[in-house]
Every structure is written in structure tokens, then in C-alpha cells.
């Protein structure tokens, strides 16, 4: 699947945003290694601080469904007049499950989409060595 198709899926996902406070809708589409796509949208809360970004909604949905084989991520912000990249918190979460060359495409309601990688967006990723360490399975109960 190409970047344009994945961005189209992210654009459609933005329609599911729950953003009554910011009125800023965001959609994400996460491509998996077998071509499946998991989407997400931002979900706000009246407490404001509990808002979940579109990217994290998509990543957490995929992981909760047993999928961590991420191939690419697209982000679409229809309410922005320029391409909006993933926020810092989402960069950290994306980096948990991806290598530095993981492709990220982001676009706004206007402007040319940007094609980049998690390594470009998050070059000094915090605690990489912890994610790279093989971890033993939890002991049986």
C-alpha cells in the first residue's frame, strides 16, 4: 500500500474523532506487515489532560489486538492548513514498536504531505536500550 492510500485511510479515520473541546480532528492509519490497516482518531476528555491522540489510539488498538508488526503510519489533520507531525508523546510510543527507518507520512487540510521516518522525527529516543533488550516472559502464576 502506498503513502497516498494510507493517508486516505487516515483522512477517513479523522471523521471518527471525538474532539468537541479543540475542534481539531486527527486521524491515523497504521499499516501492518500483511497489508491490514488499523485506524485511530483523537479522543478528548473534559479533563483535557486525558486526551488520547489519534496515533496512540491506532497503536494501542493494534497492540491490544495482538499486532506489533507495524509497517508504516499515516496521520491526517483536516482542520490544519499545514501538515501536522506526531506529537512528542506519540513519537515515544511509536518508537517502542518500530525501528529507526519506520515510515511516517503526515498531512493537513492544505499543503503537500510530508514523508519521513521515526528516526528523523525522534533521533535521540529515550531509553532505546530498554526496548531492545530481550525481556523474559513473566513467571507463571
The catalytic site residues sit at 55
Cell of 1: 500500500
In this structure, the strands spanning 103-108 and 70-77 are: parallel
Rounded Cα distance, 16 and 54, in Å: 10
Q: Does 59 bind ligand THU (CB under 6 A)?
A: no
19 interacts with ligand THU by CB under 6 A: yes
C-alpha cell at 96: 517502542
Q: What is the 3 state secondary structure string of 40-52?
A: EECECCCCCCCCE
Q: Does 87 sit near ligand THU (CB under 6 A)? A: yes
Among the candidate windows 66-74, 82-90, 94-102, 133-141, which touches ligand THU by CB under 6 A? 82-90
Residue 53 lies near ligand THU (rule: CB under 6 A): yes
Check residue 10 for interaction with ligand THU (CB under 6 A): no
- Rounded CA-CA distance 48/58 in Å is 20
Under the criterion CB under 6 A, does residue 44 sit at the interface with ligand THU? yes
Residues in contact with ligand THU by CB under 6 A are 19, 22, 24, 26, 42, 44, 51, 53-55, 86-87, 90
Amino acid at each position: 500500500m502506498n503513502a497516498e492510500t494510507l493517508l486516505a485511510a487516515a483522512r477517513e479515520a479523522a471523521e471518527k474523532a471525538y474532539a468537541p473541546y479543540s475542534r481539531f480532528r486527527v486521524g491515523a492509519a497504521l499499516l501492518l506487515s500483511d497489508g491490514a490497516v488499523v485506524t485511530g482518531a483523537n479522543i478528548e476528555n473534559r479533563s483535557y489532560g486525558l486526551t488520547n491522540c489519534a496515533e496512540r489510539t491506532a497503536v494501542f488498538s493494534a497492540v491490544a489486538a495482538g499486532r506489533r508488526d507495524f509497517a508504516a503510519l499515516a496521520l491526517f489533520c483536516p482542520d490544519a492548513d499545514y501538515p501536522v507531525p506526531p506529537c512528542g508523546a506519540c513519537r515515544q510510543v511509536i518508537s517502542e514498536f518500530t525501528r529507526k527507518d519506520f515510515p511516517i507520512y503526515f498531512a493537513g487540510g492544505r499543503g503537500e504531505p510530508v514523508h519521513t521516518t521515526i528516526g528523523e522525527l525522534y533521533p535521540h529516543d529515550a531509553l532505546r536500550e530498554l526496548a531492545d533488550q530481550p525481556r523474559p516472559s513473566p513467571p507463571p502464576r
